[in-house]
Chain A
Amino acid sequence: MPEPPNRKARAKSAPPTQENRDSDRPTLSPPFDVEAFARATAAAGAAPAGEGPPTVRAEVRAEQVTLTNEVELEIARAKSKRRTTPPRRANTPTALSMANSRVPSATNVPAARPAPAVGAVRSPAAPPPPAATPPAADAEPRSMSPSSIEAAVLGAIGSPAPEITERTIEDPIAEMRTRFSLGDYSGALEVAELLLAEDPADAEVIDCADKCRTVLEGMYAARLGSLEQVPAVIVQRTQLRWLSIDHRAGFVLSLIDGSSSLEMILDVSGMPRLDAMRILVELIAQRIVALR
């Protein structure tokens, strides 16, 4: 939904209080061209630490679509997760690092409880982390995908998401709690799953993961409607290969035969129900599949 222009102007002129900072955050444009700045810093290589962002421009960016729907946020997030381009290792703040700055995962945040050895978890396909480079607070290498809000920011500025390969979480439990409290259920679930890989018996983490799954499943279920509906591929077979989907979505697409119900497809997909539901929601949102 586009935001009313007067609200944006107010946000720009008035000093932010805690209250309006919270309410305005999703629609407040950065006071400079983030995209151009990100490109410039990436091109210039590593800038000296402490160098600030460019000065505030006279005009804010043109009004853009703001993602407010949780499902859309999840889709945007999933898209950003699929990116596998090489990591950007700039020490200067980038669009992503600024978006990350709200996440209380900085190295100096005191741990609320001893952190299990989840830090520095890497995706199996990712290259090993650079050994000697100390990570900067805002440009740390990561292994986890951005949260839904981050994805929304990335989607809104339209720039490609940087590769996410590795990230050290000082206090994963706190991270999980924060993400959950912010309504970033996918992000919270992701952290919870990493934690459970280390300690499968952690009651709090299990509880949080279950809650996240329930909420996310509910979200996707609401979007899909009755699972007795039969999905059909509405894109011509000859054009299928030109779609921008990954092989997992391609697999789900191959299960859609025009006679199997959503429930059946979820059963036979062999992937976690949540993943299959998310992919189905995406395929419908992209108008590749229609329900009848």
Chain B
Amino acid sequence: MERVIGIDLGTTNSCVAILENGSPTVIPNRGGYKTTPSMVAITEAGKRLVGHIAKRQAITNAENTVYAAKRLIGRKWNSPQVKNAVATSSYRIVQGPHTDVRIVLRDKDYSVSEVSAMVLQEMKVIAEDYLGETVSKAVITVPAYFNDNQRQATKDAGEIAGLDVIRIINEPTAAALSYGFGKNYEKTIAVYDFGGGTFDISILEIGANGVFKVVATAGDTFLGGEDVDARIIDWLVQGFKEEHGIDLRQDRMALQRLKDAAEKAKCELSSVRETEVNLPFIISSGRNEALHLQRTIDRKTIEDLSADLIERTIDICRQTLADARLEKEDIEEAILVGGMTRMPKIQQAVADFFEREPCKGVHPDESVALGAGIQGSALIDDKQDMVLLDVTPHALGIMTQGGYFEELIPQNTTVPTHRTKIFTTSRENQTAVKIVVMQGESERAEDNELLGEFILTGLRRAQKGAIEIEVTFEINADGIVSVHAKDLETAKEQSIEVTASSGLTRDEIKDMIDGAKDYMVERRSTEELEATKQEAERLIGEIERLFPQVEQIVAASDFGRDAIEKARAILGKARQAIAKREVVAIKAEVEGLSRTHRMFKGVVAKTH
């Protein structure tokens, strides 16, 4: 049976999991880390870096390193989030050809889906290396507040990465799945997700038969662990400036080291009371010497530095409960997700707010991916009785007179579904009505997302309110939304089909898929070459080490001189093949090298 991987495509870190022998498991990357930074960079030499390696040069190569692409995915160029990102990002964001967003790296434009695809491709490779087989199906998680366009853009990213995205699920739902896996819970829970770049709070109802309903969700897409890192950096920079009169922010290399050290100190202070930040040779003094930074930071300091950030998350929790008309007592469990929730002060703040100890039974970094892995397995395994229903992430409706939004299909409605409502004309002698299809939860239409519009014409001239128009919304099993408007008097009808758009055309996606495939072929062949080369170099080293001994033995006997010459020739040919970087030739020489190595070892062993 084909495997389905679950991917938590995070703003700052991504994680991949599978269900293995009935147990959800996170797959570590080559470095042994269970999460991989969602960062992509292009080096000066044009080489693509993804993950930890991209993060390590994120400041020194800031213009060509993309982080937090998730904040941009599926968004329109003129959205406030994109404007904010344009103002705050170190990399260049430009307008795409379809009012979408593009990122410029080394003078080449990339769509946001393309950049996210690079991260997804890395996660695919991690899974394939671990499983030893090709992986093509995936479940990917997205924030609960993602609209259809953002979900579609995430799906496109999966497709570009060579993955068939069989389901997109909400992150809090995935965390809840991981929490409730095999336990048959029926309760209302809060998922407090404080990650590296974003904060989300979601209230879910876990019902019978595996129904997970997101009752309310809110958050801040520009609030995360990175803000805490920034506070620590400020503290370190200020201290250094007071001591030496030098602003470390002026030097990118110093700033890169500070960023790494701040993050490390933050993580350490979750388990120890104080830690030392030691950065020798951080900057030049300008007097032919390098200065060192050495400071001790304790937990109290980091708590003071981040107190307002923690308070902000609690304010959002308070507001979310109020919006959902829920009381704290209605929440039966608070689940902590995201690396920042390791911080004792945050755990305390959550406990104080919800008036109950938060559940620590789920892994803060892994639970979302594990939930996706569980869901992926359930989707292809008929024996598993768990069902996660597809629901509409946002309410659907039309704009009405006065700029209001009239909801037809509420948020979290299970699909497929259809709803109908009757509307009337709003003006005297009105002969046409404009149906503006929108998505969102706000009562004011302008705060919601425009999905499409059409005009129903040919209405009879009559007093306002006299003509009745029936509007029907329908969502089929594939998530395609159709809207019909019918004049009930004349039965005249108009309709529109709304499909989510990531901002990319099919041709563009196809080109990107081809590009991603080419990259993988090149990457795999480079890896093969490096592995073969290393093996050949290892054997050459071993043979060279034994050569003097073998030569001595042969010199003392009448035999074996030919073998010495042959060995020399093999070494020469192998070196030539390595120099030419021809994998087939090196592979051919490895065989001869292995034989020679065995023979040399045998000769030496016999003599001793």
Does B253 lie within 8 Å of A273, measured CB to CB? Answer: no
Interface centre among B44, B56, B256, B530 (most CB of A within 10 A): B56
Q: A64 an interface residue at 8 Å Cβ cutoff?
A: no
Contact of A268 among B56, B254, B287 (CB under 8 A): B56
Does A253 lie within 8 Å of B281, measured CB to CB? Answer: yes
Given known A247-B284, A268-B53, contact A241–B279 (CB-CB < 8 A)? no
Given known A251-B256, A267-B43, contact A240–B60 (CB-CB < 8 A)? no
Bound Cα distance A226, B291 (Å): 33
Nearest A residue to B47 by beta-carbon distance? A267
Given known A228-B530, A248-B253, A250-B281, contact A268–B45 (CB-CB < 8 A)? no
Instruction: Map CB proximity to B onto A244-255 as digits: 1 under 8 Å, 0 otherwise.
Output: 011111110111
Q: B257 an interface residue at 8 Å Cβ cutoff?
A: yes
Bound Cα distance A237, B43 (Å): 30
Nearest A residue to B57 by beta-carbon distance? A268
Instruction: Map CB proximity to A onto B20-55 as digits: 1 under 8 Å, 0 otherwise.
Output: 000000000001000000000001110101000100
Given known A251-B256, A270-B256, contact A246–B284 (CB-CB < 8 A)? yes
**Which of A27-35, A39-47, A79-87 touches B?**
A79-87
Does A246 lie within 8 Å of B286, measured CB to CB? Answer: no
Cβ–Cβ < 8 Å partners of B286 in chain A: 84, 125
Instruction: Map CB proximity to B onto A206-241 as digits: 1 under 8 Å, 0 otherwise.
Output: 000000000000000000001010000000010011
Nearest A residue to B64 by beta-carbon distance? A270
Contact of B60 among A226, A243, A270 (CB under 8 A): A270
Cβ–Cβ < 8 Å partners of B533 in chain A: 226, 228
Q: A269 an interface residue at 8 Å Cβ cutoff?
A: yes
Does A84 lie within 8 Å of B288, measured CB to CB? Answer: yes
Bound Cα distance A243, B290 (Å): 10
Does A82 lie within 8 Å of B288, measured CB to CB? Answer: yes
Grouping DSSP codes into helix (H, G, I), strand (E, B) and loop, the B interface class, with mixed when no group exceeds half, is mixed
Tell me the smallest distance from the CB of A289 to a CB of chain B, in Å. Answer: 14
Contact of B288 among A83, A240, A269 (CB under 8 A): A83
Cβ–Cβ < 8 Å partners of B61 in chain A: 270
Interface centre among A125, A237, A240, A269 (most CB of B within 10 A): A269
Q: B548 an interface residue at 8 Å Cβ cutoff?
A: no
Cβ–Cβ < 8 Å partners of A251 in chain B: 253-254, 256-257, 281
Bound Cα distance A253, B279 (Å): 10
Bound Cα distance A248, B60 (Å): 12
Question: How many B residues face the partner with a CB closer than 8 A?
Answer: 36
Cβ–Cβ < 8 Å partners of B31 in chain A: 259
Within 8 A of A (CB), among B272-299: 278-284, 286-288, 290-292
Cβ–Cβ < 8 Å partners of B278 in chain A: 237
Does A250 lie within 8 Å of B537, measured CB to CB? Answer: no
Q: A98 an interface residue at 8 Å Cβ cutoff?
A: no
Q: B463 an interface residue at 8 Å Cβ cutoff?
A: no
Cβ–Cβ < 8 Å partners of B291 in chain A: 247
Tell me the smallest distance from the CB of A162 to a CB of chain B, in Å. Answer: 12
Q: B252 an interface residue at 8 Å Cβ cutoff?
A: yes
Bound Cα distance A272, B252 (Å): 14
Cβ–Cβ < 8 Å partners of A271 in chain B: 60, 253
Contact of B281 among A85, A125, A247, A267 (CB under 8 A): A247
Cβ–Cβ < 8 Å partners of A273 in chain B: 44-45
Does B282 lie within 8 Å of A269, measured CB to CB? Answer: no
Does B53 lie within 8 Å of A267, measured CB to CB? Answer: yes
Tell me the smallest distance from the CB of A206 to a CB of chain B, in Å. Answer: 16
Does B290 lie within 8 Å of A245, measured CB to CB? Answer: yes
Given known A84-B286, A247-B282, contact A270–B534 (CB-CB < 8 A)? no
Q: B251 an interface residue at 8 Å Cβ cutoff?
A: yes
Cβ–Cβ < 8 Å partners of A237 in chain B: 278
Does B252 lie within 8 Å of A267, measured CB to CB? Answer: no
Bound Cα distance A161, B283 (Å): 22
Does B282 lie within 8 Å of A250, measured CB to CB? Answer: yes
Bound Cα distance A251, B59 (Å): 12
Instruction: Map CB proximity to A onto B76-118 as digits: 1 under 8 Å, 0 otherwise.
Output: 0000000000000000000000000000000000000000000
Cβ–Cβ < 8 Å partners of B256 in chain A: 251, 270
Cβ–Cβ < 8 Å partners of A85 in chain B: 288
Instruction: Map CB proximity to A onto B542-561 as digits: 1 under 8 Å, 0 otherwise.
Output: 00000000000000000000
Tell me the smallest distance from the CB of B503 to a CB of chain A, in Å. Answer: 31
Cβ–Cβ < 8 Å partners of A248 in chain B: 253
Bound Cα distance A228, B44 (Å): 19
Tell me the smallest distance from the CB of A226 to a CB of chain B, in Å. Answer: 6
Q: A264 an interface residue at 8 Å Cβ cutoff?
A: yes
Cβ–Cβ < 8 Å partners of A268 in chain B: 49, 53, 56-57, 60
Tell me the smallest distance from the CB of B91 to a CB of chain A, in Å. Answer: 14
Bound Cα distance A247, B255 (Å): 12
Given known A241-B280, A270-B60, contact A250–B290 (CB-CB < 8 A)? yes
Instruction: Map CB proximity to B onto A64-84 as digits: 1 under 8 Å, 0 otherwise.
Output: 000000000000000000111
Cβ–Cβ < 8 Å partners of A240 in chain B: 280-281
Nearest A residue to B260 by beta-carbon distance? A254
Cβ–Cβ < 8 Å partners of A82 in chain B: 288
Tell me the smallest distance from the CB of A123 to a CB of chain B, in Å. Answer: 12
CB within 8 Å of A: which residues of B?
31, 43-45, 47, 49, 53, 56-57, 59-61, 251-254, 256-257, 260, 278-284, 286-288, 290-292, 530, 533-534, 537
Other A-B pairs beyond A271-B60, A272-B44, 16, CB < 8 Å = A226-B533, A226-B537, A241-B281, A246-B284, A246-B290, A247-B283, A251-B253, A251-B256, A253-B281, A254-B257, A267-B43, A267-B53, A268-B57, A268-B60, A271-B253, A273-B45
Which 10 pairs between the two chains have the least Cβ-Cβ distance? A250-B281, A270-B60, A268-B57, A268-B56, A251-B253, A247-B290, A270-B61, A241-B280, A84-B288, A270-B57
- 5 A-B pairs (CB sep. < 8 Å): A84-B288, A267-B49, A268-B49, A270-B60, A272-B44
